[in-house]
Structure 1
């Protein structure tokens, strides 16, 4: 598999946008119910974490005063740095969940059973270290740069940077869990693989984002069930660009 990835880096790979969209939707149809429930559970957990974080930071008393403090904190350099640091920690620790969402598509593709526990499987595998360190590097760079841009009142540049980083690192987690790459190789090779076919990946990325926005219809509740479509797109891009061995490492070790 490592040799195959290196060959793709040298010679490139074909991608068909229509096929990406079609296959992504097929995987999404197989997984969206359970993925949507998992998204809701994770969202509730994240809300509780952030409520606790902001409660410790600003107090659990007067809600209107807390909101006013939050608004003031947006322009406070110290608060921007603290929020960026928390963002790094949460982003790094939640990366295995992203791996779980991606891998659920792999399980569905191969007609294997999956449940709610499947979204958290990568916390208990040998992949955890590389997933965590990979996302830690990305999060440190991204949050530090976004914090600097925010301090300098450049929100548009901050948003643009987040999109660019998401595109350049789109292969990272699949390269770790399917391509047997370590955290640094996955980062470097993800950038190289993206640059081999940037326009198709960009359009597929936009399609994935638009798919998520469909969930905003109907009191926004549906977004919990459309967010997983983005992970189906990531999985399908990797599947078509790199592919898999007849028996992947994940199939060999199992995810109990």
Structure 2
């Protein structure tokens, strides 16, 4: 069996084939298997995280000062200098902290694909070594780079350009986590490989991502709580794209 690293080299040289309709159908079938369980897990997590965030906000601002006017002054667009850097640091820290949990949706999608039973513990699978360090490192590098560019363009009056570049970075790196947890690549190798893969078929993959985002946002229709049960479609799509392109897992150690 070829390693994922060798598969990436093949893709770099020869590209790959991707059946658009097959990816959508496979992603939807996978999503149906995880929608309810994944949605409930996401809902519980967001409620728990919301309580912690609210407690931290009350402790920082004070319950007497907890009004829209006072809270508005702490919004990113009103921050500059050190406060803005602190905000960015907190945002990156929180994102890095929850990244392994969100990566658990890929594990759940993988279990569904293989008809393996999954449990609550499945969502915390990637808090185990060696995945934890690599997922956190990849998240940190991408967010640091993204936030740095956004701040650079915004301070020079080009916020829209910064937002576009940030969106492009997010798009070209969306296969990073699957390449870490299934391909056994290290953080930097996974980021580079994600860019290589997506660069070969950017329009096709962009169309698939847009469909996945639209599918995820359908949950806002009617009752907004439905978003918790449609967001997993995004992870099913990303997992399916990875599975269709790479096609197999590597049994090798992490390639750093």
Give the alignment's TM-score, normalised by structure 1: 0.89
Aligned twin of 1:10: 13
What is the total number of aligned residue pairs between the two structures? Answer: 248
Matched, 1:42 2:39: no
Aligned twin of 2:119: 115
Counterparts of residues 68-79 of structure 1 (less than 5 Å): 68-71=72-75, 74-77=77-80, 78-79=82-83
For the residue of structure 1 that corresponds to 2:179, the secondary structure is: helix
- CA deviations on 1:173-208 (whole Å, 9 max, x unpaired) are 111111111111111111111101111110001001
Counterparts of residues 134-153 of structure 1 (less than 5 Å): 134-152=138-156
RMSD: 2.1
Q: Which runs of no fewer than 5 residues in structure 1 stay unpaired?
A: 251-256
Aligned twin of 1:234: 238
Q: Is the 8 A contact 1:59 1:66 kept in 2?
A: no
2 CA distance for matches of 1:158 and 1:98? 25
For the residue of structure 1 that corresponds to 2:224, the secondary structure is: coil
1 CA distance for matches of 2:126 and 2:165? 28
Q: Is the 8 A contact 2:95 2:139 kept in 1?
A: yes
Q: Kindly tell me: are residues 41 and 157 of structure 1, through their superposed partners in 2, closer, same or farther at Cα, counting changes over 3 Å?
A: farther
Q: Is the 8 A contact 1:194 1:201 kept in 2?
A: yes
1 CA distance for matches of 2:111 and 2:245? 18
Aligned twin of 1:21: 24
Q: Is the 8 A contact 1:87 1:139 kept in 2?
A: no
Counterparts of residues 19-98 of structure 1 (less than 5 Å): 19-64=22-67, 65-71=69-75, 74-77=77-80, 78-98=82-102
For the residue of structure 2 that corresponds to 1:31, the secondary structure is: helix
CA displacement at 1:76 relative to structure 2:
2.0
Counterparts of residues 101-180 of structure 1 (less than 5 Å): 101-152=105-156, 154-180=158-184
For the residue of structure 2 that corresponds to 1:131, the secondary structure is: helix
CA displacement at 1:48 relative to structure 2:
2.7
Q: Which runs of no fewer than 5 residues in structure 2 stay unpaired?
A: none
Give the alignment's TM-score, normalised by structure 2: 0.89
Matched, 1:223 2:227: yes
